[in-house]
Amino acid sequence: MEIQTADLFFVPNQHHDMDEAIAASTGNYIHVAIALDSEYVIHASPRYGVVKQTLAVFLDESHQVDVYRPKIKNGAGIVARALEFEHRPYNFSFYKDDPGVYCSQLVTIAFKHVINFDEEPMQFGDDERQISKFWSDYYFKLGVDVPLNQLGTNPNKLATSDQLQLIGTI
């Protein structure tokens, strides 16, 4: 498969605690990255913040990704906007006014005015509760309220855009 600038790499649930909590609340995709070209990606992760890294390193850490191609003519502007956020911290709270950036937030910002990914009320529940025990404990440790129903994005919702086409798995 030939990777193109601005392709999106969606990472399915890898069954770590946070992955399970994200998947229970929003769906199977728990992370998303942007292809800078055929060799590099940029993404926002709890481990690195917003980081540019080789596709090989990203795939080594992600194991398997689904590649979606945006239905656009040129991804150069998208990549330039994403690179403006390199070295920013991760947005652990998922609040919009947090100085950091989370993965789908980076994608939404980078694609602004090219593909408008709709924000929706954020959910933090599971099959049993509106706010799962994981998220309740997580936000208690952060010392902030759970941003339940605040507008935001998530990888699973982004992947449903009719402006993206699944081209394969690597």
CATH at residue 157: 3.90.1720.10
The string of pLDDT tens digits covering residues 58-110 is: 999 998 999 999 999 999 999 999 999 999 999 999 999 999 999 999 999 99
Does residue 30 fall inside a structural domain?
yes
Long-range contacts of 123-126 (CB under 8 A, 24+ apart): 123/25, 123/26, 123/148, 123/149, 124/21, 124/25, 124/148, 125/24, 125/25, 126/21, 126/24, 126/25
Backbone angles phi, psi at 54, to 5 degrees: -65, 150
Does residue 2 fall inside a structural domain?
no
Q: What is the structure's pLDDT at 3?
A: 97
Q: What is the structure's pLDDT at 48?
A: 96
Does residue 1 fall inside a structural domain?
no
Q: What is the structure's pLDDT at 146?
A: 98
Does residue 24 fall inside a structural domain?
yes
Q: What is the structure's pLDDT at 128?
A: 92
pTM of the model: 0.96
Q: How many domains does the chain have?
A: 1
Instruction: Round to whole Å and give the CA distance between 32 and 169.
Output: 13
Does residue 159 fall inside a structural domain?
yes
The string of pLDDT tens digits covering residues 30-53 is: 999 999 999 999 999 999 999 999
Q: What is the structure's pLDDT at 161?
A: 98
Does residue 21 fall inside a structural domain?
yes
Does residue 3 fall inside a structural domain?
no
CB 82 within 8 Å of CB 114: no
82 residue type, one letter: A
Q: Which domain holds residue 104?
A: 8-169
At 44 the three-state DSSP class reads strand
β strands within 13-140, DSSP E:
29-35, 40-45, 49-54, 66-70, 120-121
Does residue 136 fall inside a structural domain?
yes
Enclosing H/E stretch for 83? helix 76-83
150-170: average pLDDT: 97
Q: What is the structure's pLDDT at 63?
A: 86
The string of pLDDT tens digits covering residues 119-130 is: 999 999 998 999
138-158: average pLDDT: 97
